[in-house]
């Protein structure tokens, strides 16, 4: 198929659309400081108990039992079919046994599906390692992009990457979706993967520049994006198929991961088409403008000095 959409011409709108998601996300993170995201026990430390009762039980009954153990302020989430996810502060083994024992005694037979505890130390370690991993991934990407691209396209590619990470974080910040260690995996994968489409488009721009026809830079970039559009959309579609299958049909623990990846992947496709290349054009214009002005001032000062010396 041959497309001929004018992506570049309406770039101000695309920038605005991106900011429309990023800025509320940033605000949500600032407002919720010091917990910008809804960090789960993987980061904060604590216990999760997932139980399924064999007879009808409601959340308030569960809360009552927990209240009796001074754990009334725990988070209790009904997971359907008399199943509950109970998140508490960090408990030791005895306390955990007490909770399970009390639930069994007061509410009847139950199936203990999940019993997790993450110590505060482990949570801290994950946070530190996560930050380290992010930092290293960013440095590697920047090195790769620097080697691979000339300065201005590299800058545009990195901004597109930051865009994708911020959009993903933004959604999770606004909706307060719980974040666990797989979220970290998702963000790192997004950093690695979302650059792909950008690389493909920039490659095409470079190729077209070599055989440049009589057309403006806007037209050339537009042509490049349109030429690679089918590829960009189709590759993202297959990844989205995989992610939707994981999110809707897969196991519980990978759901957060699939959701984060889904947002990041869609944002990545969007940013490579609507943000990266238009940004490159703007940067290019700006730098040309600066060079031109520098040349003008230089010429002007030269003229001035000549004038001054001639007097």
Partner 1 sequence: MAGGKGAGGFFKLAIVFIAILALGIGAFQPLIRAMKLGLDLCGGVYILVQAQSTAEHAVTNEDMVALERVMRDRVDQLGIAEPVIQREGSDRLIIQLAGYDNPEEAVKMIGKTAQLEFRTSDGQVVVTGKDLKDAKAVIDQQSREPEITLKFNAEGTKKFAEITQKLVSSYSSGDPKRHIAIYLDEDLLTNPHVDEAIPSGEAVIRGGFASFQEAADLAALLRGGALPVPVQIIERRAVGPTLGADSLARSKTAVIVGLALIALFMLVVYRLPGLVANLSLIVYSLIVLGVLWALKATLTLPGIAGLLLSVGMAVDANIIIYERLKEELRNGKTLRAAIDAGFKRAFNTIFDANATTVLAALVLYFLGSGTVRGFAVTLSLGIVASMFTAITLTRFLLHLVIGVPAFHKLWLYGVKEGQIPVAARGEI
224 close to 277: Cβ distance less than 8 angstroms: yes
Contacts of 299 (CB under 8 A, 6+ apart): none
68 three-class SS: coil
Q: CB of residue 303 vs partner 1: minimum separation in angstroms?
A: 47
Residue nearer to partner 1 on the CB measure, 31 or 248: 248
Candidates 136, 227, 235; CA nearest to 195 is 235
Residue nearer to partner 1 on the CB measure, 70 or 81: 81
Q: CB of residue 49 vs partner 1: minimum separation in angstroms?
A: 10
Query: Which residue in the block uniquely carries the two structure tokens 């609507």?
Result: 274
Q: CB of residue 118 vs partner 1: minimum separation in angstroms?
A: 5
Residue nearer to partner 1 on the CB measure, 28 or 191: 191
CA dihedral of residues 251, 88, 171, 140 (deg, nearest 10): -80
Residue nearer to partner 1 on the CB measure, 28 or 161: 161
Residue nearer to partner 1 on the CB measure, 72 or 108: 108
209 close to 220: Cβ distance less than 8 angstroms: yes
Residues that bind partner 1 (CB under 8 A): 42, 50, 52, 92-93, 97, 100, 111-119, 121-122, 126, 129-130, 132-133, 136-137, 140-141, 144, 148, 181-182, 184-185, 188-189, 191-193, 195-196, 199-200, 203, 227-228, 230-231, 234-235, 237-246, 248-254, 257-258, 261
Residues 143, 189: Cα–Cα separation, whole Å: 17
Residues 256, 82: Cα–Cα separation, whole Å: 22
Candidates 246, 34, 270, 35; CA nearest to 167 is 270
Q: CB of residue 41 vs partner 1: minimum separation in angstroms?
A: 10
237 close to 257: Cβ distance less than 8 angstroms: no
Q: CB of residue 171 vs partner 1: minimum separation in angstroms?
A: 19
Burial 209-239 (b: 16+ CB within 10 A, else e): eeeeeeeebbebbbbbbbbbbeebeebbeeb
Q: Is 174 exposed, middle or buried (0-12, 13-18, 19+ CB in 10 A)?
A: middle
Q: CB of residue 150 vs partner 1: minimum separation in angstroms?
A: 15
Q: CB of residue 225 vs partner 1: minimum separation in angstroms?
A: 14
Residue nearer to partner 1 on the CB measure, 171 or 183: 183
Residue nearer to partner 1 on the CB measure, 8 or 229: 229
């Amino acid at each position: 198929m041959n497309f001929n959409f004018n992506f570049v011409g309406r770039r101000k709108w695309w920038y605005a659309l991106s900011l429309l998601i990023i800025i509320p996300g940033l605000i949500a993170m600032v407002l919720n400081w010091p917990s910008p995201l809804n960090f789960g026990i993987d980061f904060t430390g604590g216990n999760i108990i997932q139980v399924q009762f064999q007879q009808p039980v409601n959340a308030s009954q569960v809360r009552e039992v927990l209240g009796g153990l001074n754990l009334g302020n725990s988070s209790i989430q009904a997971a359907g079919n008399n199943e509950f996810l109970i998140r508490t502060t960090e408990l030791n083994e005895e306390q955990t046994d007490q909770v399970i024992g009390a639930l069994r005694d007061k509410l009847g037979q139950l199936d203990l599906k999940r019993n997790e505890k993450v110590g505060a130390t482990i949570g801290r370690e994950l946070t530190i390692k996560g930050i380290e991993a992010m930092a290293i991934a960013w440095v590697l990407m920047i090195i790769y992009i620097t080697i691979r691209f000339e300065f201005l396209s590299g800058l545009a590619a990195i901004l597109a990457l930051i865009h994708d990470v911020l959009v993903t974080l933004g959604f999770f910040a606004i909706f307060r979706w719980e974040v666990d260690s797989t979220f970290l995996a998702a963000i790192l994968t997004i950093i690695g993967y979302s650059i792909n489409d950008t690389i493909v488009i920039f490659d095409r721009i470079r190729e077209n520049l070599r055989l440049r026809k009589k057309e403006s830079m806007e037209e050339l970039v537009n042509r490049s994006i349109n030429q690679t559009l089918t590829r960009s959309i189709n590759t993202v579609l297959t990844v989205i198929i995989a992610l939707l299958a994981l999110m809707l049909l897969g196991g519980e623990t990978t759901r957060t991961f699939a959701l984060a990846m889904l947002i990041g992947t869609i944002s990545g496709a969007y940013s490579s088409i609507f943000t990266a290349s238009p940004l490159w054009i703007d940067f290019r214009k700006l730098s040309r403008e600066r060079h031109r002005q520098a040349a003008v001032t230089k010429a002007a000062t030269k003229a001035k000095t000549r004038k001054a010396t001639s007097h």
